[in-house]
Structure 1
Amino acid sequence: MTRSDLPARDRTLPDELPDPGHIKLSDLSDALTLGWRDFRRAPVFGLAFSAFYVLGGWALASVAFASGQDWWLIPFILGFPLIAPFAAVGLYEVSRRIESGEPLDTSRILRVVFEQRQRQIPSMAMVILLLFMFWVFVAHTVFALFMGVSALTHITTSAEVLLQGRGLVMLVLGTMIGAGFAAVLFSFTVVGLPLLLDREVDFITAIITSCQAVAENLGVMAVWAALIAIWLFVAIVPGFLGLLVVLPVLGHASWHIYRRVMAG
């Protein structure tokens, strides 16, 4: 039984954590295989959790296109890896139950997810949202520096504007900055989020442990981060519909990577 299943009176003391271990590139392949297995085993949960992001993407796209400011989708798409990890919280619980042989009871899974509001995950969510909002602010600033302040309210997106001259330089620089934000938040959450669900620790300890895990496995984690970014981008291209499959598989796989890193 995970600490998230215990009553509050039994979760008063923090857990002792092992030092993060080493993983290999083959562990990524294994984790993805297990992630696909978990998604096929419980597709309803994956589709339900990822549907919120698909609907959110549609809503943002509708607002952007209706206002004639569809270029605003660019910082959202570049910044999506910042907020995607939070979608996986419910998927971690599904994978944990499959791993331990516990029943996939919908009410219990939803209860575990809902009870996280009394633990440390809301604090981690605030860190994620603040970084995402800061990224959006930086994206606005970069756009204004290259295209002019007036362009923020008058420009309409076209290939002629964004794919030549200053527009192209702006896209390259913005992508690099967005990648930096994503790398920081990846380091915070790749182990930190599943750790908060699985163990009784504060979110600062979870962030530190996650950063240590990334530092111990820098090459492998860099490959994993690149795979996540590429697959999320590909999933967004077909009207966000690819997220219905990509998000659940990556979420489940992230749980198995966490388990291997914190196997001690």
Structure 2
Amino acid sequence: MPSPPAETSALQPQVLVVPLTAPVQWLILGWRDLLRCGCLSLAHGFFLAAFGLALMATAYQHFWLLAGAFSGFLVVAPVLATSLYAMSRAVEHGGTIGWQLLRDTWLSWQQSRFMESGGYWCLVRFGLLLALAGTGWVVTSAALITLLAPAPINAPLDFLRHVVLSRDNFLFETWLAMGGILAAPIFASSIVSMPLLLDRRSNLLMAVLTSWRVVLANPGPMALWAALIMTLVLISFATLMLGLIVLIPLLGHASWHAYRALVDASALPERPRAR
């Protein structure tokens, strides 16, 4: 794959300002893409729901680990949705939606040199960074709950009784605050980064900085977008992960439309679309 022109690094995507209710429109457009892509989209949700159920079954008696693991799962979700972005991109351009599109999307990193700033390796590097952040939160969460909880936390009821409802300490508030401190910059760094890296020949630093610029230019819509994501995720968790079958593809497709509404990247060279 040829390297992007040298002047590409000097080009900056234009950040757009959207109305407060824009996230609702992104969900509507994401739902339309979900219906268009059908089983291919739902397969992503089914796989991740199955992973969530397996995680719950494995760590049910170690809830201190389970809480951090699910939080870390949300951190790396933008990377796991890469092929959902690719499907929405194909729908937008009238392309073919099929298993070959998914295969080409996930294997495209092999076609670019490791040091090529505009190649698909930047998606891999960003994914590794998010995975590292997620792992760090799992370890931090587990250590915090294990060391500071007034009693052993081995099951969801233990967590509810000794952490959430405890009046003798501020462990739950501390846990939430630390999670927020980690989640806020990751959320700001990943709102449009992955779709931008998939769509245009951009380096990782530019994509992350563009994502931060989006947040600074649209604080209200971004706050609403984060609240909608968290609410829908909590509802899905309440359905024993079954809600993730629909939620994951819905949010993945909606995130593509968020990128398209928030960023004008036409100044950057377009990345070839997988066929």
Are 2:220 and 1:225 equivalent residues in the alignment? no
Whole-angstrom distance in 1 between the partners of 2:188 and 2:99: 31
Partner Cα separation in structure 1 for residue 143 and residue 64 of structure 2: 14
Tell me if the contact between 1:139 and 1:174 (Cα under 8 Å) persists in the aligned partners.
yes
Name the structure 1 match of 2:137.
135
Aligned to 1:186: 187
Distance 1:167 1:200, change over 3 A: farther
Q: Distance in 2 between matches of 1:176 and 1:185?
A: 14
- Worse overlay, 160-169 or 247-256: 160-169
Gaps of 5+ in 1: 1-7
Q: Could you say which residue in structure 2 is the equivalent of 1:214?
A: 215
Partner of 1:90: 83
Equivalent-residue separation in structure 2 for 1:71 and 1:100 (angstroms): 45
User: In the alignment, what sits opposite 2:18?
Assistant: 23
2:56 maps to 61
Report how far residue 155 of structure 1 moved.
4.1
The 1:31/1:168 distance shift into structure 2, 3 A limit, reads: farther
Query: Would you say the 8 A contact 1:69–1:156 is kept in 2?
Result: yes
Are positions 1:37 and 2:32 aligned together? yes
Alignment-mate amino acid for residue 55 of structure 1: A
Residue pair 2:236, 2:242 contacting (<8 A) in 1 also: yes
Contact 1:235 1:241 in 2 (8 A): yes
Deviations 1:106-135 (A, max 9, x none): 213421232135411111101111111111
Alignment of 1:1-264 (within 5 A): 8-9=1-2, 11=4, 14=8, 16-65=11-60, 68-116=61-109, 118=112, 119=120, 120-147=122-149, 155-157=153-155, 158=158, 159-165=160-166, 169-263=170-264
Letter in 1 for 2:225: W
Alpha-carbon distance between aligned partners in 1 of 2:16 and 2:253, rounded to the nearest angstrom: 20
Is the partner of 2:14 in helix, strand or coil? coil
Counting aligned pairs with the same residue, the percent is: 29
| Partner Cα distance (1:170, 1:100) in 2 | 49
CA distance in 1: counterparts of 2:178 and 2:64, whole angstroms: 17
CA shift at 1:11, angstroms? 4.7
Task: Please list every run of 5 or more consecutive structure 2 residues that lacks an aligned counterpart in the other structure.
Answer: 113-119, 266-275
Q: CA RMSD in A?
A: 2.2
For residues 47-105 of structure 1, the C-alpha deviation after alignment (integer angstroms, 9 at most, x for no partner) is 1222332122122112113xx32342222333432122122110111111111111213
SS at match of 1:240: coil
Q: Please say if residues 77 and 233 of structure 1, whose CA atoms lie closer than 8 Å, have aligned partners that are also in contact.
A: no
Change in Cα spacing, 1:167 to 1:174, as seen in structure 2 (3 Å) is farther
Which residue is equivalent to 2:115? none
Tell me the distance in 1 between the aligned counterparts of 2:47 and 2:168.
32
8 Å CA contact 2:40–2:98 kept in 1: the answer is no
- Cα deviation 1:18-75 (Å, max 9, x = unaligned): 321111123222211110000011121211222332122122112113xx32342222
Hey, what's the Cα distance between the residues in 2 that align with 1:168 and 1:200?
Answer: 50
Q: Indicate how the Cα distance of structure 1 residues 161 and 77 shifts in structure 2: closer, same or farther if over 3 A, else same.
A: same
Query: Which residue identity does 2:219 align to in structure 1?
Result: L
- Aligned partners of 1:156, 1:79: CA distance in 2, in Å? 19
* TM superposition shift of 1:170: 1.8
Whole-angstrom distance in 2 between the partners of 1:176 and 1:110:
39
| Counterpart secondary structure, 1:25 | coil
Is the contact made by 2:71 and 2:138 (CA closer than 8 Å) also made in structure 1? no
CA contact (8 A) 1:76 1:136 kept: yes
CA contact (8 A) 1:77 1:236 kept: no
* The structure with more helix, counted as a fraction of residues: 1
Taking the aligned partners of 2:104 and 2:73, their CA distance within structure 1 comes to 27
Contact 1:78 / 1:175 at 8 angstroms: preserved in 2?
no
How many residues in Structure 1 have an aligned counterpart in Structure 2?
A: 251
- Amino acid in structure 2 at the alignment position of 1:53: L
Q: CA deviation at 1:199?
A: 0.6
